[in-house]
Structures are given as structure tokens and as C-alpha cells.
Structure 1
Amino acid sequence: MADWGPVIVATALFVLLTPGLLCTLPGRGRVAEFGSMHTSGLAILVHAVLYFALITIFLIAIGIHVYAG
């Protein structure tokens, strides 16, 4: 049986934390901008740190597993 939990969590977090798609932290004129479709180097760094923290929590601390087949 294959464990699809890490794949699903990583894909969902990647889509949700893409800078500029849903939100940008920090934004150009504000702390957070929603749906701006703009990004910067600092926003990429912040989103990468958030991605790493959340994927660590979901996969290691909580231990999400999805078995298929």
C-alpha cells in the first residue's frame, strides 16, 4: 500500500501558499495583500518558511497518512 498523505499535503500547501495567488505576506503597501498576483523576494522567503513549518507540523507532528489501494 502506498502512503499518499505526504503527497496530498505537500500539493495542497504548495497551491495555497504560492505567493500572490491567494495572499502575499508581506504585500507591497500593506502587511498582507489578497489576490494581488504580485510577489517579491521577501514574500517568497516568508511563504517558503511558512510552507516548511506547516508541512513539518502536518507530516511529522500530526502524522497524516492516506493509504490507497
Structure 2
Amino acid sequence: MHDWAAPLIASALFAFLSPGLLLQIPGKDSPLGFMNMKTTIASVFVHTVLYGLFLILFLVVLEIHVYA
């Protein structure tokens, strides 16, 4: 059996935390932008930090496993 949690969680987080797709922190005109498909260097940095923290949370702290 293979543990599919890591690639599934990483792919989903990468898709949902892409700056501008669902939200953008910080936004261009406000602290939070929704579905504007625009990005800045600051928002790329913030989303990168959030991506890393969520990966650590799901894979290290919560130890989520999906076997198929």
C-alpha cells in the first residue's frame, strides 16, 4: 500500500493557495483580494509561507494518511 496523503494534500494546497485564484493576501488595493487573478511579489511570499505552514500542519503535526 502506498500513502497518497502527501501528494494529494500538496497538490490541493498548491492549487487553492495560488495567489489570485481564490484569494490574495495582501491584495493590490486592499489587505485581502478575492478572485482577481492578479499577483504581487508580496502576495507570492505570503502564500509561499502559508503553503509551507499548512503542509507542516497536515503532514507533520496531524499525520494525515491516505492509503490506496
Corresponding residue number in structure 2 for 1:42: 42
Coordinate RMSD, CA, aligned: 0.5
Task: Check if 1:66 corresponds to 2:45.
Answer: no
Q: Any unmatched runs of 5+ in structure 2? A: none
Q: Any unmatched runs of 5+ in structure 1? A: none
Corresponding residue number in structure 2 for 1:9: 9
CA distance in 2, matches of 1:64, 1:7: 12
Matching residue's letter, 1:7: P
Deviations 1:5-58 (A, max 9, x none): 001110110011000111110001100000110001010000000000000000
Please report the TM-score for the alignment, with normalisation by the length of structure 1: 0.96
Please report the TM-score for the alignment, with normalisation by the length of structure 2: 0.98
Query: Percent same amino acid at aligned positions?
Result: 43
The structure whose residues are more often strand, as a share, is 1
Number of matched pairs: 68
SS of the counterpart of 1:3? coil
